[in-house]
Amino acid sequence: MDKFLITIFSIFCGAVGFLFTNFWFQPILRYRQIKSQIISDIVFYANAINPENLNDEMKQRVIDRMVSNRKHSADLTACFYNLPSFYRFYLRKRGEKPDFASREFMGLSNTTEYESANRRIDKIQELLKIIPKVD
């Protein structure tokens, strides 16, 4: 009888662990991964704003930046709504607003003026609580 109870308890613990992992921890880790990629891409594409008077490599980088920003917008929105409600509450208390940041990313993908792009990047950094670089 004891082996039966131990087996049932083990199956129950495994199922609970599976549910926690798939529905709580994986979305949180995915959000943090997307946020890290956003930080990396903001730095990498910092000079790829205005496509006029640029060589072919920089023009391609501008196109890559636009595609990257649209992808980040979609990923951030999808990831935010998959987060557990307690973590979304934690993000709100912390001041992070990924859903609003995804809108700024979509706007940034269509921006070709340097000043406007900088304002959007600053807003994204503010909404995601990314520490801005020190000049």
User: What is the count of structural domains for the chain?
Assistant: 1
* Domain-embedded: residue 37: yes
Res 57: pLDDT: 75
Residue 134 within any structural domain of the chain: no
Q: Residue 15 falls within a domain, yes or no? A: no
Whether 85 is covered by a domain: the verdict is yes
Total residue count of the chain as it appears in this document: 135
35 lies in some domain: yes
Q: In 1-135, which residue ranges form alpha helices assigned H by DSSP?
A: 2-20, 26-44, 56-82, 85-94, 98-109, 114-127
Structure tokens belonging to residue 90: 């934690």
The whole-model pTM stands at 0.78
pLDDT > 70? residue 135? no
73 occurs within a structural domain: yes
* Average of per-residue pLDDT across 97-123: 86
pLDDT at 50: 63
Q: Residue 75 is part of which domain span?
A: 27-127
Return the pLDDT at 32. 92
Query: Is 116 inside a domain boundary?
Result: yes
Looking from the CA of 82 toward its CB, the CA atoms found within 13 Å total: 17
How sure is the predictor about 54, in pLDDT bands with cuts at 50, 70 and 90? Answer: low
